[in-house]
A and B are shown apart, each in its own frame.
Chain A
Amino acid sequence: MSVSTYNERPAAKSGETDGFSVLWSRPRPKRTVFSARLVSAITILALLAAWTAAASLQLVSPVFLPSPAAVWAKFVVVARDGFVDATLLQHTLASLWRVFAALIAAILVGVPVGLAIGISRIGRGVFDPLLEFLRPIPPLAYLPLIIIWFGIGEPSKILVIAIAMLAPVALSTAAGVRGVSRERVDAARSLGATRAQVIRHVILPSALPSILTGLRIALGAGWSTLVAAELVAATRGLGFMIQSAAQFLVTDVVVMGILVIAIIAFALEFVIRRIERVLVPWAGRE
Chain B
Amino acid sequence: MAHLILDKVSVHYDGQPAPAVERVSLDIGRSDSGRGDFVVLVGRSGCGKTSLLNVAAGLVEPAGGLATVGGKPITGPGSDRAVVFQNDALFPWLTARENVAFALRLRGVSADKRARRADELLSLVKLGDAGDKRIWELSGGMRQRVGLARALAAEPQFLLLDEPLGALDALTRERMQTTLLDLWAAAQVGVLMVTHGIEEALVLATRIVVLAPGPGHVVRTFETNFGRRYAAGEPIRAIKADPAFAAARAELTDAIFEGEAA
Contacts and interface: CB of A to CB of B under 8 A. Distances in A.
Interface of A: 181, 183-184, 186-194, 197, 201-202, 205, 208, 280-282, 285-286
Nearest to B150: A191
Interface residues on B, range: 20 to 34
A190 to B, nearest CB: 4
B212 interface: no
B93 to A, nearest CB: 5
Contacts of A181: 87, 89
Given A282-B92, A282-B93, A285-B92, A187 B106 contact: no
Given A186-B89, A192-B154, A201 B77 contact: no
B225 to A, nearest CB: 29
A102 B154 CA distance: 43
B136 A286 contact: yes
B222 interface: no
Interface of B: 57-59, 76-79, 81-85, 87, 89, 91-93, 102-103, 105-107, 134-136, 147, 150-151, 153-154, 160
B106 A193 contact: yes
19 contacts: A181-B87, A183-B89, A186-B57, A186-B77, A187-B150, A189-B77, A190-B58, A191-B82, A192-B78, A192-B107, A201-B91, A201-B102, A202-B91, A281-B134, A282-B134, A282-B136, A285-B92, A285-B136, A286-B136
Given A189-B59, A192-B154, A286-B135, 17 more contacts: A181-B89, A183-B87, A187-B84, A190-B77, A190-B78, A190-B79, A190-B154, A191-B102, A191-B106, A191-B153, A192-B78, A192-B79, A201-B105, A202-B91, A208-B93, A282-B134, A286-B136
Contacts of B85: 183, 186-187
A190 B60 CA distance: 12
A191 B79 contact: yes
A190 B59 CA distance: 8
Nearest to B86: A183
Nearest to A184: B89
